[in-house]
A and B are shown apart, each in its own frame.
Chain A
Amino acid sequence: MSDYILEVINVRKRFGGVVALDGVNLKVKRGSMTALIGPNGSGKTTLFNVIAGVYKPDSGKVIFDGTDITGWPPEKIYHRGLVRTFQVPRMFKGMTVFENVLTAAKGNPGERFSTSPLRRIWKAIELKIAEKAVDIMELLKILHVARNLSSAISGGQMKLVELARGLMSDPKMLLLDEPAAGVNPTLAHEIFTFLRNLNREQGITMLIIEHRLDILFDYVDYVYVMHRGKVVAEGTPEEIVENPVVVDIYLGEA
């Protein structure tokens, strides 16, 4: 088993004339909490999209847990244990929060056209999935809005629903795109504490895109810095803060 659960090797991606990813190289250590930072437009979300299978890279490789997943579709990657949340939460707006979380479960035989009419086949598993969903929602403190339509909750709660969905599949690794964006600082700290506990206790690796350097450095082991489609610096949070290249990028853009 490799030290690194995720390896991104020389990934390139362009859209028409715009080069979004210009040869990105990064490695995420198994069991770590790693951050991906960089100014707007540096390609962080695009990189997530490539890793998670939303885009196919023009060249390069993505290796997850020893398997080459380059170009795999998102659904296949999910089943491998790599889960991704969205910067702007994507709720299933026609359904309640509870249903949103239940949908993310893996391996429910009731999801097939052939077996779903026969309740007996899937009832037991459905109940187990429901227990898990309730537990996760309770942990994330969104159980009280379980019956709300997922379009009728606050933005912060939507982010928590995204997270809850992500946890339903017992993932090996989470790709979190700004998990606490738009959320008040108290809640943001709660979320990150929760994430860190998850990381330490269950060993779920995390790669987090986050802007707020101050919040991040309390919780994160390693940082990658992106600029204009490339990784330009990496290191521990302390090293990064001292790195003149990084300071330059952020000051230059400000």
Chain B
Amino acid sequence: MDKVGLVLGIIVVAIIAAFASINTGYALDLIFFIAFYAIASLSLNLEYGYTGLSDFGKVGFIAVGAYTAGVLSAAFNVPFPLCVLAAALAAAAVGAFIGIPTVKLREDYLGMATIIIGEMIRILLRNTPTNSVWGGVFGLRGIKPPFGFIKDPLARQLAYVGLSVLIFGLTYWLMERWGNSPLGRVLKAIRDDELAARSVGKYTYRYKLLSITLGSAIAGIAGALYAFYFLYLNPDTFIPLITFIIWVMVIIGGMANNAGVILGTAIVILINRLTQIAKDYIKLPLEPNYFQAMLVGILIILFLMFRPQGLVPEKPVNTPAWRVLEEAEREGRAKPPGGEEE
């Protein structure tokens, strides 16, 4: 991994360990948030980092997943794994719905469409009747915790956070497998020059549509995890700011670099947590939540201007093909032709 990334990664782990030694519950909570946001960031990395799609509605797909899982559990006592599956399918359906007309248009349209669908979802959720399980502005309650049979709350939290980390690990594995395969090359090709990609036979519409559908499915899973952690959902949690926090995680971390994205996630969350703590000790004439949001905006701009590749730059798609190249190089076939190029 890139040196910058390695150093920052060590710092992140150290900070988390420090928290763990002081307050296990707090550290577990921190780890959950990192896992949750990391899953969401990885899904955005698939859509934007690899395929170049401008998904500005990520929070909407997370909300779809969260509420699908929440309603199924609270109203129908559906077991946890099925809720997660349903969440993924529901979010995928919405992703496909938005994707079908827009991925063949220019990126402006996808950006506008995704942001609008995100807000539509939030407004629809707000307007659900408050006396129904959906809860409208009062929120959705009564989600059944998956580890409810464990008596000790800390142990229960540990179990669930452990499960979340496991699901995060699976997501990461999947992303790396997709990314380091011929598929990864195709997606990057679409991102870099769609016309050229089509001119070498890639059906770019299908790939883009699949990318946003699967990305939304994964976001839905993140939403389900969120629902079963808090056991309560409120529509006003799912505001556009969340989408852009996830964007800044991907932009900071590194496009098309899954490890980088996780680093970016951890950094953003730690900054948030540390600022919360610092607020109690340092009195500044600033409201920290608003200031952090301003910071998100500034970071987006600064990174796009000065380090668009992120903290951990993109790496070549790693497939067995490289071995063939290595072999050829060892055989001396890759010598530059005598003299200069033009």
- Decide if A and B touch, CB cutoff 8 A: yes
Does A79 sit within 8 A of B, measured CB to CB?
yes
Contacts beyond the supplied A127-B320, A183-B342: 11 A-B pairs with Cβ under 8 Å: A75-B199, A92-B189, A92-B196, A95-B317, A98-B321, A104-B200, A110-B181, A119-B320, A133-B324, A144-B337, A147-B325
A103 located at the interface, meaning its Cβ lies under 8 Å from any Cβ of chain B in the complex: yes
Contacts of B196 in A (CB 8 A): 86, 90-92
Q: A52-B199, A92-B188, A103-B200 are in contact. Are A116 and B178 (CB under 8 A)?
A: yes
User: With a CB–CB cut-off of 8 A, which chain B residues contact A168?
Assistant: 200
A-B interface, 8 closest residue pairs, ranked by CB to CB distance from nearest: A78-B201, A110-B182, A130-B321, A130-B324, A90-B196, A116-B181, A117-B177, A116-B183
Q: Determine the chain B residues whose CB is within 8 A of the CB of A37 once the complex forms.
A: none
B200 and A78 within 8 A (CB):
yes
For A175, the closest partner residue in chain B by CB is B199
Whether the Cβ atoms of A103 and B324 lie closer than 8 Å is no
A94/B181 contact (C-beta < 8 A), A52-B199, A78-B201, A133-B321 known: no
- Contact partner of B195 (CB less than 8 A), chosen from A74, A98, A108, is A74
CB within 8 Å for A111 and B195 given contacts A116-B177, A127-B324: no
Cβ proximity bits B186-211 to A, threshold 8 Å, 1 near / 0 not: 10110111011111111110000010
Interface size class of B (residues with CB under 8 A): 35 or more
Provided the pairs A75-B198, A104-B201, A106-B201 are in contact, do residues A131 and B324 lie with their beta carbons within 8 angstroms?
Answer: yes
Instruction: Give Cα distance in the complex from A138 to B336, angstroms.
Output: 10
Does the CB pair B188–A95 fall under 8 Å? Answer: yes
Q: Which residue of B lies closest to A108 (CB)?
A: B182
Is the beta-carbon distance between B200 and A165 smaller than 8 angstroms?
A: yes
CB distance from B199 to the nearest CB of A (A): 5
Which A residues between 91 and 145 are near B, CB-CB below 8 angstroms? 91-96, 98-99, 102-104, 106, 108, 110-113, 116-117, 119, 122-123, 126-127, 129-131, 133-134, 138, 141, 143-144
Interface-lining segment among B16-24, B30-38, B140-148, B327-335: B327-335
| B201 x A94 contact (CB < 8 A) | no
Q: How far is the CA of A100 from the CA of B198 in the complex (A)?
A: 13
Question: Which residues in B have their C-beta under 8 angstroms from that of A86?
Answer: 196, 199
Q: Does B119 contact A (CB under 8 A)?
A: no
Known A-B contacts A94-B256, A116-B178, A122-B181; A141 and B337 likewise in contact (beta carbons under 8 Å): yes
A147-B315 Cα distance, complex, nearest whole Å: 11
Is A113 a contact partner of B328 (Cβ separation < 8 A)? no
Contacts of B197 in A (CB 8 A): 92, 103
The residues of A that contact B321 with a CB separation of less than 8 Å are 98, 102, 126-127, 129-130, 133
Are B210 and A113 interface neighbours, CB within 8 A?
yes
A102 touches B185 (CB 8 A): yes
Closest CB in chain A relative to B105 CB, distance in Å = 15
Could you jot down 23 A-B contacts, CB within 8 Å? A74-B195, A83-B200, A92-B197, A95-B192, A98-B325, A103-B182, A103-B197, A103-B202, A111-B185, A113-B178, A117-B177, A117-B181, A119-B177, A119-B181, A130-B320, A130-B321, A130-B323, A130-B325, A144-B334, A147-B325, A165-B200, A168-B200, A183-B342
Question: In the bound complex, what is the Cα–Cα distance between A134 and B182 (angstroms)?
Answer: 16
Closest chain B CB from A120 CB (angstroms): 11
Are A92's CB and B316's CB within 8 A?
A: no
Whether A75 contacts B320 by the Cβ 8 Å rule is no
B214 at the interface (CB under 8 A from A): yes
Is residue A154 within 8 Å, beta carbon to beta carbon, of the partner chain? Answer: yes
Q: State the Cβ distance, A233 to closest chain B Cβ, in Å.
A: 29
Give the interface centre of B189, B196, B204, B210 by most chain A CB atoms within 10 Å: B196
The distance from the CB of B326 to the nearest CB of chain A, in whole angstroms, is: 10
- Residues in B with CB closer than 8 Å to A157 are 341
A39 at the interface (CB under 8 A from B): no
Complex interface: chain B residues within 8 A of A131 (CB)? 324
Give chain B residues whose Cβ lies under 8 Å from the Cβ of A94. 188, 191-192, 256, 314
Indicate if the CB atoms of B198 and A184 lie closer than 8 Å.
Answer: no
CB distance from A35 to the nearest CB of B (A): 21
Determine if B319 is an interface residue (Cβ-Cβ < 8 Å): yes
Residues of A within 8 A of B324 (CB): 127, 130-131, 133-134
Contact: B199 with A91, CB < 8 Å?
no
B316 and A99 form a contact (CB under 8 A): yes
Min Cβ gap B191→A in Å is 7
- A95, A143, A154: the one within 8 Å of B341 (CB): A154
A104-B201, A111-B186 given; A96·B316 CB < 8 A: yes
A147–B184 CA distance with the chains assembled, in angstroms: 17
B96 to chain A, nearest CB (A): 13
